Amino acid sequence: MAFVVLDNCIKCKYTDCVEVCPVDCFYEGPNFLVIHPDECIDCALCEPECPAEAILSEDEVPEDQQDYIELNAELAEIWPNITEKKDPSPDADDWKDVPNKRQYLEK
């Protein structure tokens, strides 16, 4: 099982998770991060590091966000790998707890 980045990361893009990943399996888009499922070793180090609580194990993804499992896999194939922590989006704190942000995802 891999870990999955969910809806709450959109428009926040905190990268605390990237810094602790031992296998560099995070990929960066314009306003969202994803985890490559074939590279993730299920170590769980990233989950507690996410200030937006946007990372869960694949088997814990809520029913209404199941499409993020496939979305992480799809976008990890086309987005560049990120291996170092960066500043979050400038208004990340304003967006952190906003629900249902899928319409804001920039591919």
**106 located within any domain:** no
Domain that holds residue 82: 3-87
Residue 68: closest CA among 57, 78, 83, 84: 57
**101 located within any domain:** no
* pTM for the structure as a whole: 0.96
pLDDT tens across the length of the chain (107 residues): 899 999 999 999 999 999 999 999 999 999 999 999 999 999 999 999 999 999 999 999 999 999 999 999 999 999 999 999 999 989 999 999 999 999 999 99
CA distances from 25 to 33, 54, 63, 78, 84 (A): 10, 16, 24, 13, 11
Structure tokens at 33: 């991060």
User: How many domains in the chain?
Assistant: 1
**75 located within any domain:** yes
Contact 84, 18 (CB under 8 A): yes
**30 located within any domain:** yes
CATH code: domain of residue 28: 3.30.70.20
**97 located within any domain:** no
**64 located within any domain:** yes
**104 located within any domain:** no
Residue 81: closest CA among 18, 11, 22, 31: 18
**59 located within any domain:** yes
